[in-house]
Structure 1
Amino acid sequence: MSTAEEPTSLTTADADRTVRGKSEGSPADGGEMGPETGREAIIRAARRAFTLKPYAEVTMRGIAAAAGVSPSLIVKRFGTKEALFNTVLDFRPAAAELFGAPPAELGRHLVLTMVDLRDRLRGDPLLRVVFSLGIEDERTLLRARFREQITDHLTDVLDGPDARLRAELIAGQLLGLGATLSLHRPDGATAGTTAERLADLYAPGIQHLVDGS
């Protein structure tokens, strides 16, 4: 399958943004439900569908209903179910934002950007790799894309010894952050905490792995 790249806007995390608790979404994507239109709504609905069901059980009509659009709009924008599936499997837009800082500033940038992405996407950009319920071939492909586009990318960014090990541990830290923010909404301590405060507490551990010291 060829990968259809999902465009993204490159913005910095708002230093004063609060991690807001919204109504419950799917734990599979760490999502909060909210009003969406167009391409974003389609991609979000597709991520949830392909995470919770095997590929063969997902229909364009079902995705359209969940996104509040017509099936013809999905066909117009993505063409086929396979093309939409490949968009869901693409972690590169998230990687472009997550790794868009020099190594010396990367730990804090990763935390702030994760919070910002969750807010803008109304869901976690990475957790689908953990919670996917597809058949083995689909889960294998999803994890291969994650390793290639997230872990391998990060390995190339890091200097010093054990770069691959540190990259895997950092990826685990990001998944853990996403899971924590999802599990403890809407009334957990993280729901009333600013992104800056989360970075104060969580980023030093990630930065230690980035530095390799």
Structure 2
Amino acid sequence: MTDPGRTAILRAARKAFARQPYDAVTLRGVAADAGVSAALIVKYFGGKEALFERVADFTEAAQLLLAAPNERLGEHAVRTLIAYRRENDQDLLLRVVFAAGKGEDRALIREHFRDQVTRAFAARLTGSDAEVRAGLITAHLLGLGAVLAIDKTGPVAAADPADIARSYAPAIQQLIH
């Protein structure tokens, strides 16, 4: 079972690091947004640097998205993304979009995303264009994540995951070939 305090801290930290440069983020600010004490953040994560590293880490996302054989990887990734959003009220990947700005902290988030997600997909693919196709796969997943985040109560958000997978996963699966 997930610890609600830990989840609230990570959610608040993701928001803080996405909106502000690293130097402007404080443990007190994250704690206030999460509704916990700064001491609890230190207990769970050890400090601001370790908290940032956790926010910038996409290892869990990659493991979840890639936990299927290539023959079913497109459908699995789509269903996993939808299930994670519905169960956790957050996306596995979208925080990388907020790292598009300047600064070493944002560059580190982008680098982790490339290393831990895009290159993990590329490692599963064959052919000289594997890295390009992996980038396109992650673009598809980011697009789906964005529409689910934006359209929280609309038709896509309310649709049956199997229906979404039937419509969306073939484009991803085509890139896996």
Flag whether TM exceeds 0.5 (same fold).
yes
Of 179, 182, 192, which aligns to 2:158?
192
**CA distance in structure 2 between the partners assigned to 1:69 and 1:199 by the alignment:** 38
**Does 2:111 align with 1:144?**
yes
**Does 2:8 align with 1:38?**
no
For 1:170, give the aligned amino acid. Answer: I
For 1:114, give the aligned amino acid. Answer: L
1:155-190 Cα deviation digits (max 9, x unpaired) = 10112341111101001000010111112222x211
**CA distance in structure 1 between the partners assigned to 2:64 and 2:55 by the alignment:** 17
**1:156 partner SS:** helix
Q: CA deviation at 1:70?
A: 1.0
- Whether the 8 Å CA contact 1:53–1:133 is kept in 2: the answer is no
Of 105, 108, 111, which aligns to 2:72?
105
**Does 2:36 align with 1:69?**
yes
**Paired-residue identity, %:** 49
Aligned to 2:172: 206
Matches within 5 A, 1:154-169: 154-169=121-136
**1:132 partner SS:** helix
TM-aligned CA distance change 1:167 to 1:133, over 3 Å: closer
Compare the two structures and name the one with the higher helix fraction: 2
Q: TM-score, normalised by structure 1?
A: 0.79
Aligned to 1:85: 52
Aligned to 2:84: 117
- Whether the 8 Å CA contact 2:99–2:110 is kept in 1: the answer is no
Q: CA deviation at 1:37?
A: 2.1
For 1:94, give the aligned amino acid. Answer: A
Q: CA deviation at 1:119?
A: 2.0
- Whether the 8 Å CA contact 1:42–1:67 is kept in 2: the answer is yes
For 2:52, give the aligned amino acid. Answer: F
1:81-128 Cα deviation digits (max 9, x unpaired) = 000000000000011110000000000000000011112332111111
Structure 2, unpaired ranges of 5+: none
Q: CA deviation at 1:46?
A: 0.6
- Whether the 8 Å CA contact 1:181–1:191 is kept in 2: the answer is yes
**CA distance in structure 2 between the partners assigned to 1:57 and 1:161 by the alignment:** 42
1:31-71 Cα deviation digits (max 9, x unpaired) = xxxxx822111111111110111111111111111111111
- Whether the 8 Å CA contact 1:52–1:133 is kept in 2: the answer is no
Structure 1, unpaired ranges of 5+: 1-7, 10-35
